[in-house]
Amino acid sequence: MPKVNFDIPLDFLNASTPPLIGVDISASSVKMVELGEAPKKGGYIVERYVIEPLPKDAVSDGNIANLDAVAETLQRAWKRMGTRIKNVSLALPAAAVITKKILLPAGMREEDLEYQVESEANQYIPFALDEVNLDFQVIGPAPGNPDEVEVLLAASRKANVEDRVAAAEVAGLKAQVIDVEPYAAEMAFEQILAQLPDGAEDKCVALVDIGAGVMNVNVLRNGQSIYLRDQQVGGDQLTQQIQAMFGLSAQEAESAKRNGGLPDNYESDVLSPFRENVVMEVARALQFFFTSTQYNEVDYIVLAGGCAVLPGLDDAVATRTQVSTMVANPFALMTLSSRIKPRQLQADAPALIIACGLAMRRFDPS
């Protein structure tokens, strides 16, 4: 899977790659995952994880709006983890990154490739190059043409990268990798594909990540993303509806949503209409996919994000779309350390898919 470096020094080719913690800074919380290597080849151990709520509006539209609040939350989360590892892998939201696949002649030297990528970047990036962090990765031979290679070009405004790096540094952590959220999710998604019949070979699988403010739909086929779309629906809407219906503060509503204790009419008056709205948005997203690509069916839907565990959502999506639907758990085939509570991890797993993918960068040789 592509990995974006954004000028942060990396040494993944060194056999002693330093351990990393995957850190997902979302709109509602900081999520951290630490993975170790299991004795069996290619296996993982879930060593530690934590989800630490962020103050409201500390992150807005994917941008860090309150650096001190984010840094303090990172520090609290790291202390709760009980780890000594300070190297972290972070990610930018897709909306903050311009990506483009380009074709270049095969066999170019590294410095020539860099020069050519920079020349090509001028065509696709609507900012001066000195205002952006630019990176690229060779994906492999171009389809149908052995004389060319396919290269992924990625660029982001420097402020987007610098804010995340600065928040980590203020928290006493060191950013080693800057990734892009959909690519990190794809990394963890490999663990989910292994749970599907025949690894979902030659099948279209829709990864639907429903976060606090945005639903990200990423349709993959044989490990490659073939469609990406964001839609404005998320768990914040449910929290706001709970606030309005029951006269609670934002913090009280969020706590009640997660832990229960709401009046009997919550299910019928609030949760059920919200769930139906999410189901409609998922169905709409699939229709957009069908009308804008060559494909006319999806074989599996995988629900991720904090909203994925809403009671009955997976069944409602399956019924509406007539597509086999499951709730994401990238840890299902991993070994759990004695510190991990299996039932709690299963409940938290859908929200940890990006942090899991970022943690897996420790083992990525590319």
pLDDT at site 147: 84
Domain 197-328 has CATH 3.30.70.980: no
Long-range CB contacts for residues 121-124, cutoff 8 Å, separation at least 24: 121/153, 121/155, 124/98, 124/100, 124/153, 124/155
Does residue 12 or residue 235 have the better pLDDT? 235
Instruction: Give percent of the chain above pLDDT 90.
Output: 46
| Statement: residue 225 has pLDDT above 70 | yes
Q: Find out whether 43 and 64 touch, Cβ atoms under 8 Å.
A: no
> Is the four-CA dihedral 105, 106, 107, 111 of positive or negative sign?
positive
Q: Which of 46-55, 77-86, 308-317, 356-365 has the lowest mean pLDDT?
A: 356-365
Domain residue spans of the chain: 1-96+160-195+329-366, 97-158, 197-328
pLDDT at site 103: 82
Does residue 49 or residue 365 have the better pLDDT? 49
Does residue 293 or residue 254 have the better pLDDT? 293
Q: Any bridge partners for residue 100, and if so which?
A: 153
Q: Which of 56, 34, 10 is CA-nearest to residue 360?
A: 34
* Cα gap 78→21, rounded to integer Å: 9
pLDDT at site 212: 83
Does residue 284 or residue 250 have the better pLDDT? 284
- pLDDT range class, residue 283, cuts 50, 70, 90: very high
The pTM assigned to this predicted structure is 0.86
Summarize the confidence of residues 17-28 as an average pLDDT.
87
| Statement: residue 243 has pLDDT above 60 | yes
Q: Find out whether 5 and 178 touch, Cβ atoms under 8 Å.
A: yes
Does residue 3 or residue 33 have the better pLDDT? 33
Summarize the confidence of residues 15-19 as an average pLDDT.
59
Interval 121-171: pLDDT, tens: 777 777 777 778 878 777 778 877 888 888 887 888 888 889 999 999 999
Q: Find out whether 355 and 23 touch, Cβ atoms under 8 Å.
A: yes
Establish whether domains 1-96+160-195+329-366 and 197-328 are of one fold: yes
pLDDT at site 366: 53
- pLDDT range class, residue 84, cuts 50, 70, 90: very high
- Report the mean per-residue pLDDT for the chain: 86
Architecture of domain 97-158: 2-Layer Sandwich (3.30)
Strand duo 87-92 + 59-60: pairing:
unpaired
Summarize the confidence of residues 164-187 as an average pLDDT.
91
Summarize the confidence of residues 309-335 as an average pLDDT.
93
Cα atoms found within 13 Å of the Cα of residue 185, Cβ hemisphere only: 27
* Cα gap 218→83, rounded to integer Å: 32
Name the CATH superfamily housing domain 1-96+160-195+329-366.
Answer: ATPase, nucleotide binding domain (3.30.420.40)
Summarize the confidence of residues 85-110 as an average pLDDT.
85
User: Could you tell me the end-to-end alpha-carbon distance of the chain, in angstroms, rounded to an integer?
Assistant: 9
CB neighbour burial string for 42-78, b if at least 16 within 10 angstroms, e if fewer: eebbbbbbbbbbbebebbeebebebeebbbbbbbebb
